[in-house]
Amino acid sequence: MMEAACHCGAVRLSAPEPTQVTECNCSICRRIGARWAYYSPSEVKMPQPGTTQPYVWGDRMLAFHRCKSCGCVTHWQSLDGARDRMAVNARNMDGLDWERMRIRQFDGAGAFKYVEEPA
């Protein structure tokens, strides 16, 4: 398990070490600059309740959570719980080997699909 902690350390999640992450160019992800690692919520040890502030907008499908103290974005969750999927911001994980990580580009602003890397 890898720990994903915000800068001040108030928000800490634990999740299996990712082998690939996603960068998305949608209106919020490009602002946040996150590299998302996706999980089933059952795989993730969640932070202490009350340490994050959620941000919800638009069709209200997802809540983006940031630390109440230092503001670092730590994860997103499905609001209705219907999707067995959440994402952890892997940039908050210390000690990841970014040289070996597969970094996939998702065109969330346009085609809403992955941009495949050249072979």
| The one-letter amino acid at 112 | F
Distance CA 109, CA 85 (A): 20
**Which of 1, 56, 61, 70 contacts Zn ion by CB under 5 A?**
70
Question: Cα–Cα distance between 68 and 47 in angstroms, integer?
Answer: 12
- Member of 6, 32, 44, 73 binding Zn ion (CB under 5 A): 6
Residues 6+ apart with CB under 8 A from 58: none
Say how many residues touch Zn ion, by CB under 5 A: 6
Largest CA distance in the chain: 45
Using CB under 5 A, which of 23, 28, 43, 69 touches Zn ion? Answer: 69
- State yes or no: residue 53 binds Zn ion (CB under 5 A): no
By the rule CB under 5 A, 56 interacts with Zn ion = no
The footprint of Zn ion (CB under 5 A) covers: 6, 8, 10, 67, 69-70
